[in-house]
Structure 1
Amino acid sequence: MRIAIAGAGAMGSRFGLMLHKAGNEVILLDKWADHVNAINKSGLRVNYNGEDVVEKIPAFFPSEMEGYKGVIDTVILFTKAMQLDDMLQSIKPILSKDTKVLCLLNGLGHEDTVEKYVDKENILLGNTMWTAGLIGPGEVKLFGNGEVELQNVYPGGKEAALEVVKVLNEAGLNGIYSENVMYSIWRKACVNGTLNGTCTILDANIASFGATSVTDKIIRTIINEFAAVAAKEGINLDSEEIVNHVKSTFNPNGVGKHHPSMHQDLIKNNRLTEIDYINGAVCKKGAKYNIQTPYCQLLTELVHAKEEILIAQ
């Protein structure tokens, strides 16, 4: 399959590498000049479960797609949420009537943006539990195992979704066809909504946050706010199961020692965050349905305040 990874950061690089190694024709698309140039000069450098790997995978700036002569079967979206619209606008030349687009972004509501550029029958929404870390330009660290759950937005797109699942499985990415991917997307949004903003504001890893005496109240309240809003959209979340799942991440011998991606973006790399597409999205939807979301609202405002203090870009 001919695949473009739109947003070749840590996670995009993981998918690009694994799909490339499985024999697919992969190109990486990213706007970070140092990253693109480093990949093209020295290859994508990867610490892959402790083993150092270098793979030559073509990398491009999205703007270069205007003159791209190849045909792309599938685009996998891994941009930051606030960059999605701009990315899709830039890569319009490779979005043919047959190109399938798989959106694997964190957060909520991205299908509305994708539909502006792609016919519904070509849109796949997904959720992935794979992890990755960006070390520097052209260099990533991959660890652990995961899976990718996805589903077609339009009923007629199931055949294409199953084909993408097959390709992901052949690459060892553990693709799963879902009958209710929106539940999984909301469930993951709950995890991000409880951990990303809190660990960023507290400048703490997951285990340190989990060890505080007030953590249980914080995560339960945030998850209850998510669940109340989700119910208005026909998604009935199992709040207690999600609370227990979040608590399972506190183990310092597992992902507990990890800093969430929002912390990496803002505290480590001084970049703007996706808070508006996680807790902020719940606030916006809550206002629409007349549901109070005070914890999500405060957390969103605190993260924005932190962005201003650090002059994040």
Structure 2
Amino acid sequence: MKYGMIGAGAMGYRYGVMLQENAGVDVDFIESWLPNVTKVREQGGVQVARDHVDQRLVPINIYTPEEYKGHPDVWIIFKKQMQLADELKRDAHLFHDDQFVFSAMNGMGHFEKIAQYFPAEHIIGGTAMIATVLNGPGSVDFMGAVGSETMHMSQYAGERGAVTDQVMADFKAADLNPIWSDNFMGMCLSKVVFNAVTNSLCTMFEIQMGQFITYPGVKDMATQLFNEAYDACERAGIKLIETRQEEIDSVETISHAYKYHYPSMYQDFSKGRPTEVDYINGYIAKIGREHDYVCRVHEFVTQEVHLAEMMRQYKQPTVPVQV
């Protein structure tokens, strides 16, 4: 099986490198950010570290969408929600009827966009509890111990077939530790409601997950956000693959496991980029509104993150104290 990775960012590098090195499959990276392409070509690959140590150079094949002439069996897409529509337009000439596509992006809204280019039966959805940091062009940091990767997979539509089976087998061989679910929406929303707690709150206060979990009120805050999200999903007829208590417990477990990690939303925020809060807390609030239930806390958190984004324009550079 040959894979084409659309998006050589943090998660694109994580999946692509692990598939290439551990599963021994061919992976081509398609990247629209030119500084990333240039850096990888200059240094002969991508610099990969794990938990800030043991950095090494991994040779990869990287192309812009206009340069690429290959024909992968399966596309893997990792882009920011706000960038996806434009990216798919730019890549559309590369898509063919016999190809499948997998995506495990944060938030919700991407599968509807992907379905404009691929048959619904050729779309494989996923979620990834995998922390990764893009340090800059051509440099990535895999967070967490070897073997700690956890992900779920599900068919977007139709029955699971031979291609999906092979993708799952390749992901297992890559040590990505996939778990299959027959509940597509329940799988997706289980990750969204988790991110609606850790990503959003860590971003607003600009803290690592390990710092976040030291606050004694985290459990109460998480419980309030989870309860509201679960109430909205139940009204929409969506049964999440994890219970409320399992989600609450996971905040502590994951935050301790990735204690030095800044969530991806904060990584965008700290670089002055728009965050994906509308596709996470905002999406939960949208489900509530569509089913006559007001998610007051998620509505408030969405506005708070946007306020924090806007307030960046008023922050002044720190002036060193003269002694």
Question: If the length of structure 1 is used for normalisation, what is the TM-score?
Answer: 0.91
Q: 1:44 aligns with which of 43, 46, 53?
A: 46
> Does residue 235 in structure 1 map to residue 213 in structure 2?
no
Q: 2:285 aligns with which of 283, 286, 291?
A: 283
Q: How does 1:71-86 map to 2 (within 5 A)?
A: 71-86=71-86
**Which residue matches 1:222?**
225
Q: 2:301 aligns with which of 299, 302, 306?
A: 299
> Does residue 143 in structure 1 map to residue 143 in structure 2?
yes
- Match of 1:126, SS state, is strand
Shift of 1:231: 1.4
Shift of 1:157: 4.2
- Match of 2:124, SS state, is strand
Shift of 1:278: 0.2
Q: Pick closer, same or farther for the CA change 1:285–1:263 going to 2, 3 Å.
A: same
- Contact 2:81–2:109 under 8 Å retained in 1: no
Q: Pick closer, same or farther for the CA change 1:110–1:233 going to 2, 3 Å.
A: farther
Query: Aligned letter for 1:105?
Result: M
**1:41-62 deviation digits (Å, cap 9, x = unpaired):** 2111111463322122122233
- Match of 1:28, SS state, is strand
**1:137-177 deviation digits (Å, cap 9, x = unpaired):** 10111132213321212223433211100111222222333
How many residues are matched? Answer: 306
- Contact 1:199–1:259 under 8 Å retained in 2: yes
Q: Distance in 2 between matches of 1:113 and 1:185?
A: 15
- Contact 1:132–1:143 under 8 Å retained in 2: yes
Q: Distance in 2 between matches of 1:48 and 1:250?
A: 17
Q: How does 1:111-150 map to 2 (within 5 A)?
A: 111-144=111-144, 145-150=148-153
> Does residue 109 in structure 1 map to residue 114 in structure 2?
no
Greater shift in the superposed pair: 280-289 or 19-28: 19-28
Shift of 1:289: 0.9
Consecutive unaligned residues in structure 1, runs of 5 or more: none
- Contact 2:236–2:291 under 8 Å retained in 1: no
**Which residue matches 2:91?**
91
Question: If the length of structure 2 is used for normalisation, what is the TM-score?
Answer: 0.88
Q: Distance in 1 between matches of 2:77 and 2:230?
A: 26
> Does residue 246 in structure 1 map to residue 251 in structure 2?
yes
Q: Distance in 2 between matches of 1:38 and 1:279?
A: 35
Question: Which structure 1 residue ranges, 4+ long, deviate > 6 Å from structure 2?
Answer: none
Q: Pick closer, same or farther for the CA change 1:98–1:311 going to 2, 3 Å.
A: farther
- Match of 1:91, SS state, is helix
**1:53-107 deviation digits (Å, cap 9, x = unpaired):** 2122122233x1xx53221211111101111212221111121111111011011
- Contact 2:143–2:261 under 8 Å retained in 1: no
Q: Distance in 1 between matches of 2:27 and 2:229?
A: 36
**1:282-304 deviation digits (Å, cap 9, x = unpaired):** 11221111111111111111111
Q: Distance in 2 between matches of 1:311 and 1:4?
A: 38
Q: 1:195 aligns with which of 179, 198, 201?
A: 198
- Contact 1:80–1:105 under 8 Å retained in 2: yes
Q: Distance in 1 between matches of 2:82 and 2:74?
A: 21
Of all paired residues, the percent bearing the same amino acid is 30
- Match of 1:273, SS state, is coil
The Cα RMSD (Å) is: 1.9
Shift of 1:198: 0.8
Consecutive unaligned residues in structure 2, runs of 5 or more: 315-323
**1:165-198 deviation digits (Å, cap 9, x = unpaired):** 0111222222333222432321111110001111
Q: Distance in 2 between matches of 1:226 and 1:190?
A: 7
Shift of 1:311: 5.0
Query: Aligned letter for 2:290?
Result: K
Q: 1:61 aligns with which of 61, 64, 68?
A: 64
**Which residue matches 1:273?**
275
**1:207-261 deviation digits (Å, cap 9, x = unpaired):** 322232432332111111211121133323421221111122343xx31232211
- Contact 1:9–1:134 under 8 Å retained in 2: yes
